[in-house]
A and B are shown apart, each in its own frame.
Chain A
Amino acid sequence: MSQLIVGPFNRVEGDLEVRLDIDRGQVRSARVNSPLYRGFEQILHGKDPLDTLVIAPRICGICSVSQSTAAAQALADLAGRAMPPNGELACNLVLACENLADHFSHFYLFFMPDFARAVYASEPWSDWVEPRFRAITGSAPRAAMPARTELLHLMGMLAGKWPHSLSLQPGGSSKPVQQQERLRLLAILSAFRGFLERQTFADRLEAVVALDSAEALAAWADAAPPHQGDLRAFLHLAEALRLDQLGHGVDRFMSYGSLPLGGELLFQRGLWYRGLAALDEAVISEDPSHSWMQGGEPLHPTRGSTVPDADKIGGYSWCKAPRLAGEPVEVGALARQMVDGHPLIRDLVKTSGGNVRNRVVARLLESARLVIAMEAWVRSLRPGEPFCERTVLPDEGAGVGLAEAARGSLGHWLQVRHGRILNYQIIAPTTWNFSPRDGQGTPGPLEQALVGAPVRVGEQTPVAVQHIVRSFDPCMVCTVH
């Protein structure tokens, strides 16, 4: 048995360290360390509740709007207010745009460059994969960055800027869309659709969304040469490298549900574990037993606290261990599409569970779904009608905000006394996915997904470990916050 300490990981958001026990060329156990603590929950204590709209997005530069969404929802819950239809549409567009841009950055900038590594230089596909996906200088990242920039023009128009907008308010959006802006939004979306349809899918978005089984996906992949469309390229690599056998997680999938409109969610809320079940927020807890935090018993976030203890015995991460009814769950696009019931994703998971390939496919499929929904939302905007309701926050009370960031479920729990924040607790997506062990010794989803990963002779930063880690699209700055 040998040990490896792997880090820093790049092309993940924030800093990450993984300790691996390795035996006979395989990872036997893994411990995930989130090495950065900033203390946002402590910073928020005692503030005007409205100030969370400034502070919370600054937890994260890549899930900034997701943090705003959860914070605004917690305030709306505190005030007992709903948004006007224009407000819901504008806020949905902003959140969907961030999720879409994050999926896109993940695929082209963070995940795919690993297939251009020297370790794969002798593979038969390397001669066309390497120049396409090479970090920074490959043709794909070079084309993707300007496309992402133009997509984020939607943020300039609807949210002032990205990241760190203050446009998402408990009563709706501070930015009323005017007639000519509605047309510009359509133009921005149609340009991004064009990129996806030419380069990512080499097909219509509607055709991608209509794929309804593993068999249909395989047939679609075989219908053209592997370099025709980057999804097809990925599926070819997934087949060659057996990425459907890599990074098998806990197969318990959670989604808070996302993107509400008139009482309906675009992506449904629930828990999938061998079948769909209702999600009960009351059975969420955070277990600090292996984190450098005071406390030991798992507590619901409304009773939780965040007080660092750098010398805690048994601690190995700043991250607490969130659990749903005592169990670790996987969150993210794969979980969202599982819970929502997309037939392709349900079928892929039925055959091979949660794994590197299925996580990436779910993210790209969801991207196509998001663009289609966003186009419809822009058409539904009604300039001249209200975008934001007047909201008065009570001086006493509590609120919960449950949102879906690109990388999964994000919860904010707020308690207010005498008009000030008494307690604010946050559980971010990667807190779930990259959680340390809990009091029972049960490892978190990534820790479980790394077990069995192959380690080649002499590898100090095993490439398989990197594929698995990045398949979750981790955001480490959110994880601990």
Chain B
Amino acid sequence: MNLLWLQSGGCGGCTMSLLCAESPDLLTTLAGAGIELLWHPSLSEASGGDVLAVLERAADGSLPLHLLCVEGAMLRGPNGSGRFHLMAGTESPMTHWVQRLAARAHYTLAVGTCAAFGGITAGGPNPTDACGLQFEGAHPGGLLGTDYRSQAGLRVVNVAGCPTHPNWVTETLMALALGALGPADLDALARPRMFADQLVHHGCPRNEYYEFKASAERPSELGCMMEHLGCLGTQAHADCNTRLWNGEGSCTRGGYACINCTAPEFEESGHSFQRTPKIAGIPIGLPTDMPRAWFVALASLSKAATPERLRRNAVSDHVAVPPTIHKPKPR
């Protein structure tokens, strides 16, 4: 299968992340899945006219296009002209290229939250009229429209994330190459369920603090970041804390809030990213599937029961109080 990768209204970070694929590395993984790069902007040799020839042949159907990966939002402005990104060397808006190529592609993937939903590029007043391939924020539509289906009959597959984890991309590509990703394998936002049915909260090393509502108050402290520091890990659909990033990392392991970057409109949550919005001291956003009354009841109970070790460590940047070693039974 061949793969064509295009970049538009984004930062290129999903590509930079993808290059970090490991066990095995990216090139080995792709080769093993029988995927060949027709062209990738960061990796391929071809430039200029050579690239345009490949794109033209893929667009007119003379070169089969199995996997079309688009990174970055689709910029429709100004005034519907697409001129905020004319593809270099073509004087044609990137949105037109994507429409032509998506019509031919066996499968179309939106890589990253920008390509999926608009993402950070659609933030603030959305100066470029940015949208995703098949979503505009949380609403179906986008550049290609709700009725779009790739040649294989699938919606645009939204590998969301800002950036995407390298293996979300490689595993989605592998599943498609194996014919093992069908409509039922995508969630309501067209994200592969194999990653999207998890929560960032799963495997978070701060879970013991969460259980007892022992909260960090400022960056670098060890406690749970839900109560004060804006963490949305209990609501964010991703496996970041079980899969891990760049070896042993994740956002919450790095000491900062999960900002729910796999979700549409994460860029405009209506509050500051690093502060938890509250009413009467209770966070507005509750853990997914948790009834409010129970959350409030359990939270006040667990706060009352917080062990001294967690209370103190939560506001320390190192383990100030170690776990107790149980005394051995007398001989």
Contacts and interface: CB of A to CB of B under 8 A. Distances in A.
Interface string A132-172: 00111100001001101110111111111111111101011
Interface string A458-479: 0011000010000000000100
A21 interface: no
B49 interface: yes
A35 B81 contact: no
Given A48-B272, A149-B20, A153-B246, A61 B14 contact: yes
A176 to B, nearest CB: 4
Interface string B68-96: 00000101001001011111111000000
B249 to A, nearest CB: 3
A376 interface: no
A286 B256 CA distance: 35
Contact of A5 (B14, B89, B120, B257): B89
A16 interface: yes
Interface in B260-277: 261, 267, 272-275
A54 B259 contact: yes
Contacts of B14: 61
B41 interface: yes
B47 A8 contact: yes
Given A50-B273, A388-B317, A113 B246 contact: no
B175 interface: no
A155 B249 contact: yes
Nearest to A171: B219
B86 A35 contact: yes
A62 B12 CA distance: 7
B19 A149 contact: yes
Interface in A177-192: 178, 184
A306 B91 CA distance: 23
Nearest to B14: A61
B89 A51 contact: no
Interface in B120-160: 120-121, 123-125, 127-128, 130
Contacts of A92: none
B46 interface: yes
16 contacts: A35-B87, A38-B84, A43-B121, A58-B120, A58-B162, A62-B16, A135-B44, A145-B19, A156-B248, A162-B20, A173-B255, A174-B220, A174-B254, A175-B254, A310-B81, A387-B220
Contact of B248 (A109, A157, A308, A383): A157
Contacts of B275: 48, 50
Name the residue among A43, A110, A158 with the largest chain B CB count within 10 angstroms. A43
B48 A7 contact: yes
The list of the 4 closest CB pairs from A to B, nearest first, reads A160-B254, A61-B13, A7-B88, A156-B249
Given A10-B46, A173-B220, A477-B11, A160 B249 contact: yes
B273 A37 contact: no
A64 B100 CA distance: 32
Given A17-B89, A38-B121, A160-B253, A477 B12 contact: yes
A388 B48 contact: no
B312 interface: no
Contacts of B185: none
A386 interface: yes
Nearest to B79: A310
Contacts of B41: 8, 10-11
A38 B9 contact: yes
B262 to A, nearest CB: 13
B218 interface: yes
A90 B140 CA distance: 42
A15 B75 contact: no
A175 B128 contact: no
Given A135-B44, A161-B250, A387-B220, 7 more contacts: A11-B44, A37-B85, A46-B124, A135-B45, A136-B27, A184-B248, A388-B220
Contact of A51 (B27, B50, B222, B273): B273
Contacts of A178: 318
Contact of B88 (A35, A37, A51): A35
Contacts of A400: none
Interface in B266-300: 267, 272-275
Contact of B48 (A9, A39, A109): A9
Q: Report the contact-size class of chain B (Cβ under 8 Å from the partner).
A: 35 or more
Contact of A35 (B85, B220, B255): B85
B17 interface: yes
Contacts of B87: 7-8, 15, 35
A299 interface: no
A338 B278 CA distance: 52
Contact of B245 (A59, A161, A386): A161
Contacts of B272: 48, 50-51
B251 A58 contact: no
- Chain B CB within 10 Å — which of A42, A110, A184 has the most? A42
A210 interface: no
A156 B245 contact: yes
Contact of A9 (B47, B85, B317): B47
A218 to B, nearest CB: 30
Given A8-B48, A58-B120, A50 B254 contact: no
Given A50-B272, A61-B13, A386-B220, A6 B89 contact: yes
B246 A43 contact: no
Given A54-B259, A390-B218, A8 B89 contact: yes
Interface in A396-448: none
B20 A135 contact: no
| Residue from A134, A156, A477 whose CB has the most chain B CB atoms within 10 Å | A156
A13 interface: yes
A142 to B, nearest CB: 6
Contacts of B60: none
A116 B45 CA distance: 9
A465 B218 CA distance: 50
Interface in A86-140: 105, 109-110, 113-114, 116-117, 134-137
Task: Specify which of A54, A157, A387 lies most central, judged by the most chain B CB atoms within 10 Å of its CB.
Answer: A54
A91 B310 CA distance: 27
A418 to B, nearest CB: 14
B219 A174 contact: yes
Contacts of A17: 88-89
B51 interface: yes
B269 to A, nearest CB: 10
